Structure 1
């Protein structure tokens, strides 16, 4: 297995074939601007895609917040990532935070967000870029860009409406309203809500269930789920046929089939 990448503002842990990425800038509520968290996410995804043994990625935050998104103090001062004219900011967005949705969209394994606390602005969007979200009852969610006179520059408007439908996504985006974990579950943002103490236990249990599956077929299934969102049915079925041929010729398929036959024989 490839050695774990060295991160700057996040920590990375590996247990069997499950990787946990933890944003580790509690001092700025795990903000994505003014930190190296964007680089940490991109580097982690690239490492996973080069490491075929990995089956699942978990993303969470250290401290009280999942991620506060952009650093509001820098916005007020037109400093750091928010300094410069239109062309400078356009380039900075493309070369900066917009690398996160592109990376997570290409991630080959299922990714679970363990949302330990507030996920605001781009922090909310990162959660929505994941395949599955489980939240602490202390978590809050807000697509709050409009409150600051800006737009979801990280692609959040693309992800949320695909997750919960256009109408509800429009209401949350146009009002900038912050919702709690229970409402997030009710509208389909999160799969489940649990206590802060049990959050990682529940997420890890789900991750282990997924990671126990044959990894090559798991990665192909993730690719199919993404392709289904943008491919016409006849073309999609052609891809399914090719992927299925790959699976039938992978040794892990025969291992799984024999294991099932042994289980049925008992």
Structure 2
């Protein structure tokens, strides 16, 4: 189990270029380490993540007119690389939202497979207040959680939701007390990752794409994934144990 801590509490864990790079590097290490079966993402201090770093905003505003677009495009590529690495990590991921998750911080939470929030936490797609659109995957993740019309309302208004409201509309899966947040997230991560790592990775990869694919392609990907599962040590050992137990019951009868 790994806990990935967003650790810039003085700026409410706002994400800058260095944090983006660190996030990608850590997720790559986690993906390759079979000893780590799941990941909990949380924030240090009072906030989960306040979004993009103010320094980056200032740099964008100060750039020469002819460089604004390409600089913005490059920054977007780095952001998308980090969010995609989190979303596609071949292991269960849980966001433990300990405080405000705003803008890009909200995107980070929604990029995880599951979200559990402290009942004192808040979530907001606040981009509209800066004349922007959600750029960290929110326009992809949010409609898949709450439906298209409700996602539009949250993006268009940028309003702040309590954990209670977010839970009621399906934006998050669980809400709990601040003291119980991390223990509950870690226990849930253990429960989710108890099975075969190969089966978990293959199932997650297929389901992440299932809304965009025709049923025939989902079946095809599932067939290929199942063939891989047939060859894994976990499958062979569990079937051997099951058959032995079944034979023992038969003899006892």
Q: TM-score, normalised by structure 2?
A: 0.89
- Gapped regions of structure 2 (runs ≥ 5): none
Q: Which of these residues, 201, 220, 233, is aligned with residue 238 of structure 1?
A: 220
- Gapped regions of structure 1 (runs ≥ 5): 1-17
With over 3 angstroms needed to count, the CA separation of the structure-2 counterparts of 1:262 and 1:209, relative to structure 1, is: farther
CA RMSD of aligned residues (A): 2.1
For 2:140 and 2:224, how far apart are their aligned partners in 1? 29
| Conserved? CA contact 2:5–2:43, under 8 Å | yes
For 1:32 and 1:198, how far apart are their aligned partners in 2? 26
Aligned to 1:204: 186
Does 2:130 match 1:172?
A: no
Q: Which of these residues, 17, 22, 29, is aligned with residue 5 of structure 2?
A: 22
Aligned to 1:228: 210
- Deviation per residue, 1:68-93 (Å, 9 max, x gap): 00234763xx23x5542432432332
Give 3-state SS (helix, strand or coil) of 2:79's partner.
coil
Query: More helix per residue: 1 or 2?
Result: 2
Aligned to 2:81: 99
Aligned to 1:133: 115
| Conserved? CA contact 1:55–1:218, under 8 Å | no
For 2:243 and 2:168, how far apart are their aligned partners in 1? 40
Q: TM-score, normalised by structure 1?
A: 0.85
Task: Map 1:1-266 to 2 at 5 A.
Answer: 18-33=1-16, 36-72=18-54, 75=57, 78-79=58-59, 83-84=62-63, 85=65, 86-260=68-242
Which has the higher Rg, Structure 1 or Structure 2?
2
- Deviation per residue, 1:98-145 (Å, 9 max, x gap): 222222233111111011110001000111111000000111011011
Runs of 4+ in 1 over 4 A off after TM superposition: 258-266
For 2:245 and 2:42, how far apart are their aligned partners in 1? 36
With over 3 angstroms needed to count, the CA separation of the structure-2 counterparts of 1:123 and 1:38, relative to structure 1, is: same
- Deviation per residue, 1:159-216 (Å, 9 max, x gap): 2112211111111110110010000000111111101100011111111112221111
